């Protein structure tokens, strides 16, 4: 049984990282004001939200399976306080920090209408910190941290986020392309 939990914990952690990568890339795309992947904006937002929910589900499965895995020996205390674990405290602490950040993002998203858009957005920016923390946690801890397949997945995830950031920072990028087009038309008329 412990082998099954260990494999499940590893797999669910990797799936959570891949989904979090998709969430970050789609979040960048959704904020851009331009259509991403030839999808309408509402579809990008819907995909972003659903991928985020699925990433949280896999993160919870990852953590719960590690709690019950006798090999990992994870304590409830390790889930709350970063860098206090017995096993590779730095790398495990990054995982705890990522979990804590994700909890803050989920809670504020659930309370978005009560706390206001500005407060929600401020906390939601933590996603940009949560993603690299999760990436480093995955590369630094566990029995797969030196394997080619994990590094390959991590490099693809990093390339995906980097591509989204580069796309967002292109010089001809305008946050509101329709507004920019209307302004150009008005200038041509004058």
pLDDT in tens, 94-129: 999 999 999 999 999 999 999 998 999 888 888 889
Residues 101, 177: Cα–Cα separation, whole Å: 32
Residue with more model confidence, 14 or 141: 14
pTM to 2 decimal places:
0.84
Non-local CB neighbours of 151 within 8 Å, separated by 6+ positions: 139
Percent of the chain, pLDDT > 70? 86
Q: What is the pLDDT of residue 45?
A: 84
pLDDT at 55 over 70: yes
pLDDT attached to residue 71: 81
Q: Which residue has the higher pLDDT, 45 or 1?
A: 45
pLDDT (tens digit, 9 = 90+) per residue, 164-180?
A: 888 888 766 655 556 66
- Across the chain, mean pLDDT equals 86
Sorted by sequence, the CB contacts under 8 Å of residue 166 that are 6+ apart come out as none
Sign of CA dihedral 112, 29, 56, 82: negative
CB 85 within 8 A of CB 76: no
In the block, residue with structure tokens 């904020």:
31
- Split at pLDDT 50, 70, 90, the class of 23 is very high
Rounded Cα distance between 32 and 6, Å, is 39
pLDDT for residue 173: 60
pLDDT beyond 80 at 34: no
- Residues 3-26 have a mean pLDDT of 93
What is the separation of C-alpha 46 from the centre of its chain, rounded to a whole number of angstroms?
Answer: 16
pLDDT at 19 over 90: yes
Give SS3 for 170: coil
Residue 17 pLDDT class (50, 70, 90 cuts): very high
């Amino acid at each position: 049984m412990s082998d099954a939990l260990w494999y499940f914990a590893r797999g669910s952690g990797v799936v959570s990282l891949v989904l979090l990568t998709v969430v970050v890339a789609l979040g960048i795309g959704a904020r851009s004001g331009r259509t991403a992947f030839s999808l309408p904006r509402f579809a990008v937002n819907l995909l972003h939200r659903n991928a985020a929910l699925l990433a949280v589900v896999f993160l919870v499965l990852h953590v719960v399976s590690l709690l019950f895995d006798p090999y990992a020996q994870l304590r409830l205390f390790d889930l709350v306080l970063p860098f206090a674990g017995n096993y590779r405290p730095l790398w495990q602490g990054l995982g705890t920090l990522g979990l804590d950040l994700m909890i803050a993002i989920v809670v504020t998203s659930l309370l978005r209408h009560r706390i206001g858009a500005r407060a929600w957005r401020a906390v939601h920016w933590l996603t940009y910190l949560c993603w690299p923390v999760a990436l480093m946690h995955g590369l630094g801890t566990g029995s797969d941290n030196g394997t080619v397949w994990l590094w390959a997945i991590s490099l693809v995830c990093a390339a995906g986020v980097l591509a989204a950031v580069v796309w967002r920072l292109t010089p001809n990028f305008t946050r509101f392309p329709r507004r920019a087009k209307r302004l150009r038309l008005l200038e041509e008329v004058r």
